[in-house]
Amino acid sequence: MKLKAITGIALTMLLLAVVSPIDVSVGVVDFDGESGEFVAQSGVDWWPMFRHDLSHTGYSTSTAPNTNNTIWSYPTGDRVISSPAVAQGKVYVGSYDRKVYCLNATSGVRIWNYTTGDSVESSPAVADDKVYVGSFDRKVYCLNATTGAHIWNYTTGGAVYSSPAVADGRVYVDSFHVHSSDYKIYCLNATTGAHIWNYTTGAYFSSPAVAQGKVYVGSYTGAVYCLNATTGAYIWSYPTGGEVSSSPAVADGKVYVGSEDFNVYCLNATTGAYIWSYPTGDRVISSPAVAQGKVYVGSTDMKVWCLNASSASMISYEREIWNYTTGWLNDVRSSPAVADDKVYVGSFDRKVYCLNATTGAHIWGYKTGDYVSSSPAVADGKVYVGSYDRKVYAFGPDTTPPNITDVSQFPFKNNVTPEDDVHVNATVTDDLSGVKQVTLNYTNGNGTWINVDMTNLEGNVWNATIPKFPYCTHVAYAIIAEDNANNTITTEEMGYEYQYHVIPEFPSFIILSLFMLFTLIAVALAKKIRCKVAKTT
Ligand SMILES: [Ca+2]
Question: What is the whole-number distance in angstroms between the Cα of residue 482 and the centre of ligand 1?
Answer: 8
Contact 154, 188 (CB under 8 A): yes
Q: Are residues 315 and 204 in the same domain?
A: yes
Ligand 1 centroid – CA 106 distance (Å): 13
Domain membership flag for residue 54: no
CA of 433 to the centre of ligand 1 (A): 5
**Assigned domain for 517 exists:** yes
Q: What is the pLDDT of residue 29?
A: 38
What spacing in Å lies between the alpha carbon of 436 and ligand 1's midpoint? 10
Same domain, 64 and 190: yes
Straight-line distance from the first to the last Cα atom of the chain, in angstroms, rounded to the nearest whole number: 68
Q: Is 301 in the same domain as 437?
A: no
How far is the centre of ligand 1, averaged over its atoms, from the C-alpha of 449 (Å)? 26
- 373 and 417 inside one domain: no
Give the number of domains in the chain: 4
pLDDT in tens, 463-498: 999 999 999 999 999 999 999 889 999 999 999 999
Q: How far is the CA of 372 from the centre of ligand 1 (A)?
A: 27
pLDDT in tens, 99-143: 999 999 999 999 999 999 999 999 999 999 999 999 999 999 999
User: Does residue 48 form part of some domain?
Assistant: no
Domain membership of residue 49 (yes or no) is: no
Spacing, Cα 33 to ligand 1 middle (Å): 17
* Global pTM value: 0.77
Residue 360 pLDDT more than 90?
A: yes
pLDDT, one tens digit per residue, over 168-227 is 999 999 988 766 666 889 999 999 999 999 998 877 789 999 999 999 999 988 999 999
Across 55-123, the runs of DSSP E, i.e. the strands, are: 59-60, 70-75, 85-87, 90-94, 99-104, 110-115
Structural domain includes residue 293:
yes
Decide which of 338, 366, 395 is a domain's last residue: 395
CA 8–ligand 1 middle distance (angstroms): 21
pLDDT at 533: 59
* 399 CA → ligand 1 middle, Å: 6
d(CA 321, CA 323): 7
| Residue 180 included in any domain | yes
CATH of the domain at 174: 2.130.10.10
393 CA → ligand 1 middle, Å: 18
In a domain, 254, yes or no: yes
Residues 203 and 312 in one domain: yes
Q: Same structural domain for residues 524 and 500?
A: no
CB 56 within 8 A of CB 287: yes
Cβ atoms of residues 220 and 207 within 8 Å: no
Enclosing domain of residue 518 = 507-537
Q: Using 50, 70 and 90 to split pLDDT, how confident is the model at 12?
A: very low
Q: Are residues 76 and 199 in the same domain?
A: yes
Q: Are residues 429 and 351 in the same domain?
A: no
Rounded CA gap, 443 and 431, in Å? 31
One domain for residues 161 and 210: yes
Between the CA of 85 and the centroid of ligand 1 the distance, in Å, is: 26
Q: CA 298 → CA 173, 289, 346, 422, distances in Å?
A: 23, 10, 9, 61
How many whole angstroms from 486 Cα to the centroid of ligand 1?
Answer: 8
479 plus 382 within the same structural domain: no
Give me the pLDDT at residue 36, please: 34
Tell me the CA–centroid distance for residue 424 and ligand 1, in Å: 23
Compute the distance from residue 402 Cα to the ligand 1 centre, in Å.
5
Contact 157, 138 (CB under 8 A): yes
Does 263 lie in the same domain as 177?
Answer: yes
Cα of 34 vs centre of ligand 1, distance in Å, is: 13
168 CA distance to ligand 1 middle (Å) = 42
Residue 516 domain-assigned (yes or no): yes
Same domain assignment for residues 109 and 204: yes
